[in-house]
Amino acid sequence: MRINKFLAHAGVASRRKVDELIEAGKVTVNAKRATLGQQIDPQKDEIKVNGKQIKSEEEFEYIILNKLKKETVLEQVKTKSRIYPVGRLDKESTGLILLTNDGELTNRLTHPRYHVEKVYEVVYLGKVADTTIGRIEKGIELEEGRKKEARVKTLSSNDHKTVLEITLYEGRKRQIRRLAEKLHLHIIALKRITIGPINLEGLESGKFRKLSPEEISALKKSAGI
């Protein structure tokens, strides 16, 4: 594969930035200065950036965690790899978190441009009016501007609580909680249940596991990789 693609996958930088590093002489292949567009074999060649060897794509790790409330990701996932969460859930929220050291996939899953859907199950205090649900679907003004539309499905509703399934295509930091504040709603519980094709089926709260090759492939496809 092309060296800039390999290094972008490894999370070094975007392909354009990688090309700049190559032109600056900061990338080597088998101890020789790399060239733009150079083809490399990640399994055989030794690729270094600023003297640091870069992992083969085969060494990437992909983990799914069913996060508990009030605990951090690092408190729940034990691994020798330096992996990082894809996006965030605050301490009051639970559910699906992906962790990986695949930089390009992380960028695709978190950048609004790629529209990888994330689904949340949200429990609100009291009955949420249909007009309010309509405002959530259409998007409302937050500090950084008007949000994209969301898809909302009512799972249950009575005078005591309302359970909504909310699908976001362009999630922002604490977006659902900030929407609740704007609409004067009180959230009892917030759980992320899917990211793209990945869901929590069969994974108990507080547990984690590695993604299967089929899941990794489906996730990359959803992100346009």
Strand partners, 52: 49
Q: How many Å apart are CA 125 and CA 161, to the nearest integer?
A: 5
What distance separates the 2 farthest-apart alpha carbons in the chain? 70
In 3-state terms, what secondary structure has residue 88? coil
Strand partners, 64: 98, 209
Rounded to 5 degrees, what angle do the CA atoms 60, 65, 71 make? 120
* Nearest residue to 85 via CA among 115, 114, 61, 59: 61
Residues tagged active-site: 90
Token digits of residue 10: 């490894």
The residue whose two tokens read 């975007």 is: 14
Who's near 188: CB < 8 A, 6+ residues apart?
Answer: 123, 124, 125, 161
DSSP run (H or E) holding 58: none
The residue whose two tokens read 């408190």 is: 75
DSSP run (H or E) holding 62: strand 62-67
